[in-house]
Amino acid sequence: RFREYLRDFTRYFEEGTGNLQKTTTIESVMNKDMLCTGVVGLVGEPFSIETTSEYDKATLTYVIDKSKLGDTKFDNLLFLWYDEKKDEFVELETILDEENSTVSINTTHFSKYMLVDKKEWFDAWKRASLYFEDDYEPLAAAICYDCSGSMSGNDRNGYRKLAIDNFIDSMTLTDKTALISFESIAKLVSGFSYDKEELKRRVEPYNGGGTNVRSAIEEAVKQLSKVEHWYTRHIILLSDGDVNLKIDLSKNVVDDLIKQAAEKNIKIHTIGLGSDADNQKLKDCATYTGGDSFTAATAEELDAIYKDLSKKNHFDLKTLPDKDKDGLPDEFEVSGLVISNAQIFYTDPEVQDCDGDGLFDGQEISIDNIRSQYKAVKDSDGFYTTYNSVVFKYIADAWNEDTDGDGMLDGKPCIDITSGIVLAPTDPEPSNGNYKIANGYLFKSHKESMKNNAQTKLGDYLKLDLELEDFVSVEMQKEIEEGIEKDRQIQELLDSYDIWFEDIIEEERDEQKKALLYKLLFNIIRSNGSATIGSNLLMFRQDVAGDALHSQTNADIVEYISTKYGIPAEKLIPFYNKLNTWQILGGYNQFYDDVFKWGTNDNMYANNLYFSDNGIKYVLWYWRGDYLNLGAGSEIGLYYRNDSNPVQNAISTGVEKIIGDEHWFSTDFKIPMTLSLYWAPFLPSADKMYPLYNWAPENPQWWITGFDPNWKNKVDCINGMDWPLMKENLIMIGSVDLSQFSEDAIDSLRNYVDREKTHKIIIDGNTVWILGGHL
Ligand SMILES: [Ca+2]
Ligand SMILES: [Ca+2]
Ligand SMILES: [Ca+2]
Ligand SMILES: [Ca+2]
């Protein structure tokens, strides 16, 4: 739908202040930031530009390959930048140099920039402006508030400000308000504005002077005469005194000023405050112009009156018929929803969630933050025409379940239908691709791999399938034989000599034996057989496919014994609680990490996620690395401590005194967890992630692990090179279902993650996703 991308663009900067060349990064956000990618009339790729330098001004220049411009005329190239705060693409003064084929802008800040074909861009806004003018009636309200001396008695406690502030807050984004204060004279406090904060800041009622109502209405009529024709126009007049207008409807007397207001379709709403207000005149003004009139005995009543006025007069798009209750009025779904990049979406008024991604249409294209958009377009005669349209806020594509194509669905977690395994979290940024890796997206590859490789069941223990030759070399065998021969000779020697000689010979023999033993141990550790020894010590078992080794729960142990020895599982239940792996008994502390660090030659990464639930502290302790005999692996463990339990507290404190760091207990309940590990070198040329394992055990876990003994020390020859198995290149994806915990517990985890920036975590509902590696 968009023109061919002009990938051959080159870009450069002319220096501002500071060395911008070196400190600035330019990244294409094509097909990553979908709002920028979808800009109507886009030429080439949109770029995100960031710098760590301070500068006053920089020039951004594109060198254009004219042969690739297609239908776009060079003269029609226009720079836009994306104002994220206002959700608006802003046209920039673009310097065209056709001779040198460059297009430049001067800028004082960096952001997202792109080139568009000016004609296409403005034509799109012309089209967009056609939709709303008939139906859409935002409100323009001129608030005239009395600041005469008598107000000091009538509004001692500042109710005027409260009521006006609340009125301003109730404005929809397309409404606008002007502020006029008056006493003996009227003062324009603010012309029409959308800026609620600025308007509220300016509302500062005071008390002093007379009550010149006429001057206030004059100013209000003047201001309202200037607003665009599609606005409904209102004056909200508050006064506590005389009304210096000639009006008496009972005698058909109407002041010219009020007639003028009525002719301009301005409704005057009036509020008479206190006993001295000229309520009859105020009422006549309102009646003549079609407004409402109120009386307030005390200022306390003002807030309710302003609220009433607001409710009655704000044109609220949300009140239009919405058959499918998806948040979008039917007529907009049919006539089109314009977003800030000038794209127009059409959705089905009878279907809430057109693409079935868990987000209603109105959550993808939102009415909540709509705003007015004006584009002044110069025609060929040099005249400007203003086009107005209402812009909806784009969150994601209502017709695409994965808007940015990163594997995470717009509005719900991705779950495998047949197995029920959770494959990816809800996209935290549905229109901005996240976690790019190996020429693709992490979760896109992960989902594929999970579908093809996920293991759910444990199989057998790893068996030693090695001959002695596998870890004892020919030379060593010779040495051992020689050692035995030497032993025999030494024994003979001992037999024939005096006893005092024995110690020296004994020592010599020990040294030789010791050296041999070390050599043997070293070779065992380096051999494939060592994984068997390590995994059996830890009571690990292989998954059914033999992809990797995993820890088991006592439920797994019962299942294993029952199947292997034909004992019904029920009979094993009495022993169930006794069938614990030592990891359950041991708890966890920093000491294990230190051992791992040693076992991996520091090629490991560990981190802790803390949270608490009902006074009990929890930690998710996770780890990944290349562990010497088990190979590349990762773990997530759930531990807890209850410091109010005296026994636990004594144990923790005791252990902590010895190791100088925290000690935790393994939990006695289990929860659903998955764990996957990949290898992906940090290289631009890397085109895929290599799966080590995808482990989604059907039994819930308190501790999930996976080690692949085939991946250790070094990755053999990929792309014709040997790659070291660095922890950075090990990509971990774990999911832990915390549904068992309270909302507060998940909130405390969220707070912890927000504070600690060292984690790569996605909290999706009750599931926490733990990621690791160069992401
Ligand atoms: Ca609807
Ligand atoms: Ca949807
Ligand atoms: Ca969608
Ligand atoms: Ca996505």
Lowest average pLDDT, out of 26-30, 89-93, 159-163, 187-191, goes to 26-30
Ligand closest to Cα of 358 equals: 2
- Does a structural domain hold residue 193? yes
**CB burial class (10 A; 0-12, 13-18, 19+) of residue 615?**
exposed
- Does a structural domain hold residue 443? no
Contacts of 31 (CB under 8 A, 6+ apart): 37, 404, 405, 433
CATH assignment of the domain containing 208: 3.40.50.410
Residue 465 CA to ligand 3 center (angstroms) comes to 52
- Does a structural domain hold residue 412? no
- pLDDT > 70 fraction of the chain, expressed in percent and rounded: 85
- Does a structural domain hold residue 356? yes
Ligand closest to Cα of 353 equals: 2
Confidence bin at 464 (pLDDT 50/70/90) = low
588 and 720 share one domain? yes
In this prediction, residue 314 carries a pLDDT of 73
CB 215 within 8 A of CB 221: no
Residue 320 CA to ligand 1 center (angstroms) comes to 10
Residue 754 CA to ligand 2 center (angstroms) comes to 28
- Does a structural domain hold residue 764? yes
255 and 179 share one domain? yes
In this prediction, residue 500 carries a pLDDT of 46
Q: Is the pLDDT of residue 11 over 50?
A: no
Residue 675 CA to ligand 3 center (angstroms) comes to 27
- Does a structural domain hold residue 441? no
C-alpha closest to that of 419 among 444, 388, 442, 452? 452
The HSE-up count of residue 571 (CA atoms within 13 Å, CB side) is: 7
In this prediction, residue 627 carries a pLDDT of 81
Q: Is the pLDDT of residue 263 over 50?
A: yes
Ligand closest to Cα of 401 equals: 3
637 and 506 share one domain? no
In this prediction, residue 495 carries a pLDDT of 64
Q: Is the pLDDT of residue 65 over 90?
A: no
Q: At which of 368, 394, 420 does a domain end? A: 394
Residue 18 CA to ligand 3 center (angstroms) comes to 43
Residue 415 CA to ligand 1 center (angstroms) comes to 27
Residue 349 CA to ligand 2 center (angstroms) comes to 13
Ligand closest to Cα of 427 equals: 4
- For 308, the domain range is 139-314
The distance from CA 684 to its chain's CA centroid, rounded to whole angstroms, is 25
Q: Is the pLDDT of residue 372 over 90?
A: no
SS3 of 226, please?
A: coil
Q: What's the average model confidence in pLDDT over 707-731?
A: 76
In this prediction, residue 432 carries a pLDDT of 97
Q: What's the average model confidence in pLDDT over 282-306?
A: 94
Residue 247 identity = I
In this prediction, residue 26 carries a pLDDT of 81
Question: What are the DSSP E strand ranges found in 451-569?
Answer: 541-542, 549-550
Residue 337 CA to ligand 2 center (angstroms) comes to 15
**CB burial class (10 A; 0-12, 13-18, 19+) of residue 775?**
middle
Ligand closest to Cα of 361 equals: 2
In this prediction, residue 481 carries a pLDDT of 75
CA-atom Rg of the chain in angstroms: 38
Residue 457 CA to ligand 4 center (angstroms) comes to 30
Residue 362 CA to ligand 2 center (angstroms) comes to 8
CB 397 within 8 A of CB 431: yes
211 and 259 share one domain? yes
Residue 361 CA to ligand 2 center (angstroms) comes to 5
CA distance 35 to 37: 5
Q: Is the pLDDT of residue 584 over 80?
A: no
- Does a structural domain hold residue 455? no
64 and 91 share one domain? yes
Buried b (16+ CB within 10 A) or exposed e, 474-493: eebeebeeebeebeeebeee
**CB burial class (10 A; 0-12, 13-18, 19+) of residue 230?**
middle
329 and 297 share one domain? no
Neighbours of 42 (CB within 10 A): 23
pLDDT in tens, 614-629: 999 999 999 999 887 7
Ligand closest to Cα of 359 equals: 2
C-alpha closest to that of 208 among 187, 190, 222? 187
Ligand closest to Cα of 405 equals: 4
pLDDT in tens, 136-159: 677 899 999 999 999 999 998 889
Tell me, what DSSP letter sits at residue 218? Answer: H
- Does a structural domain hold residue 126? no
Confidence bin at 501 (pLDDT 50/70/90) = very low
CA distance 431 to 51: 24
Q: At which of 285, 314, 343 does a domain end? A: 314
CA distances to 216, 254, 289 from 262, in Å = 16, 11, 5
CA distance 459 to 542: 5
More confident residue, 563 or 713: 563
Contacts of 201 (CB under 8 A, 6+ apart): none
In this prediction, residue 575 carries a pLDDT of 65
Count structural domains, the chain.
5
Tokens representing residue 752 in the block: 């912890």
Residue 351 CA to ligand 2 center (angstroms) comes to 10
Lowest average pLDDT, out of 68-82, 647-661, 665-679, goes to 647-661
Tokens representing residue 436 in the block: 């790019």
Confidence bin at 6 (pLDDT 50/70/90) = very low
542 and 509 share one domain? no
Residue 352 CA to ligand 2 center (angstroms) comes to 8
CB 25 within 8 A of CB 50: yes
CA distance 249 to 283: 9
More confident residue, 16 or 352: 352
Q: What's the average model confidence in pLDDT over 689-718?
A: 86
Residue 325 CA to ligand 3 center (angstroms) comes to 17
Ligand closest to Cα of 332 equals: 1
CB 175 within 8 A of CB 138: yes
310 and 332 share one domain? no
More confident residue, 685 or 566: 566
In this prediction, residue 175 carries a pLDDT of 83
Please, what is the average pLDDT of the chain? 85
Dihedral, 210, 216, 218, 220 alpha carbons, nearest 10: 180
Q: At which of 314, 340, 355 does a domain end? A: 314
Q: Is the pLDDT of residue 774 over 60?
A: yes
Residue 361 CA to ligand 3 center (angstroms) comes to 8
- pLDDT > 90 fraction of the chain, expressed in percent and rounded: 52
Q: What's the average model confidence in pLDDT over 744-754?
A: 96
CA 682, 683, 684, 688 dihedral sign is negative
Residues with CB under 5 A from ligand 1 (ion): 322, 324, 326, 328
510 and 613 share one domain? no
Q: Is the pLDDT of residue 17 over 60?
A: no
CB 705 within 8 A of CB 675: yes
339 and 327 share one domain? yes
91 and 153 share one domain? no
322 and 305 share one domain? no
Residue 333 CA to ligand 2 center (angstroms) comes to 13
Residue 285 CA to ligand 3 center (angstroms) comes to 51
Q: What's the average model confidence in pLDDT over 741-770?
A: 95
Residue 324 CA to ligand 2 center (angstroms) comes to 13
